Amino acid sequence: MLKKPTAVISSLTMPWVALLEGMAFSPEAFSEDRERWSYSGKRGPAYWATLDDDFASCGQGKNQSPINLTQLLDGELPEIELHYPTQGDKVINNGHTVQVNFPSGNILRMEGQAFELKQFHFHSPSENTINGQSFPLEAHFVHADKRGNLAVVGVMFEQGAANEGLQPAWNQLPLHAGGQETLDVPIDATKLMPSSLEYYRFNGSLTTPPCTEGVRWLVLKEPVSISKEQVEAFQRAIPFDNNRPVQPVNARVIVQ
């Protein structure tokens, strides 16, 4: 169990988002999703809202993610607890990112609520920035409660020593869109977490279409290490920048 201090959570509800940023994976969904949007050109982020009526929030939403975390408000932040006893067993290249899927049983607890870890995936360079600073890689740990409310934990990676926690997935990294592997060595999500779980808190959205809002965002303050070679391996699997540009903060408050 990880139990460490961390931000103020408002009670938000939202409908179940079927893909949870690509959680569900099938050849049919993969093919259709690849055709609907991308990170560049006429299907890139600037055009997402025009590609499908379901993507309207990408252009009309007022609480969109990612953001630049700045002008932070100090607050008394409740703890989060991570109970991650089960291990990730599948790594997938869905054409937009690389993600690791998890069986049931991994729980994030915050303010008396339980959110189950569904998957984590990566963006390079980072989508969120901290006081304007970008990082070579950011992981998003996507959790959902029983009603479909989402909580995403963001972890920043800074270049340094190799990350041993990542290596089981990197050893079998699918290099082509549509590839998936069952991991020989399951991955332990706790090994990707920094020593401190202090975080920044804000209300946001999915960072990919349909850009649905009502997502609890918890971006951990302390980055973890990743080697230059590991970043380059990810970039071979996803050979383009897969980060949505930062969005206006508008009236939101970012608590630390």
**pTM, two decimal places:** 0.89
What is the model's pLDDT at position 76? 86
The string of pLDDT tens digits covering residues 93-109 is 999 999 999 999 999 99
Burial category of 247 from C-beta neighbours within 10 Å (exposed 0-12, middle 13-18, buried 19 and up)? buried
Q: Which residues of 135-171 are buried (b: 16+ CB within 10 A; e: fewer)?
A: bbbbbbbbbbbeeebbbbbbbbbeeeeebebbebbbe
To which residue do tokens 């920044």 refer?
Answer: 200
Query: What's the average pLDDT block by block, 10 residues per block, for the chain (256 residues)?
Result: 36 38 43 76 97 97 98 91 96 96 96 95 98 98 96 98 97 96 97 96 97 97 98 98 98 95
What is the model's pLDDT at position 18? 40
Cβ atoms of 116 and 142 within 8 Å: the answer is no
Q: Catalytic residue numbers? A: 96
Superfamily of domain covering 2-237: Alpha carbonic anhydrase (3.10.200.10)
What is the model's pLDDT at position 144? 97
CA dist list (Å): 155 to 14, 70, 112, 140, 197: 23, 17, 23, 7, 10
Query: How many other CB atoms sit within 10 Å of the CB of residue 256?
Result: 18
What is the model's pLDDT at position 32? 52
**β-bridge partners, 255:** 73, 201
What is the model's pLDDT at position 33? 61
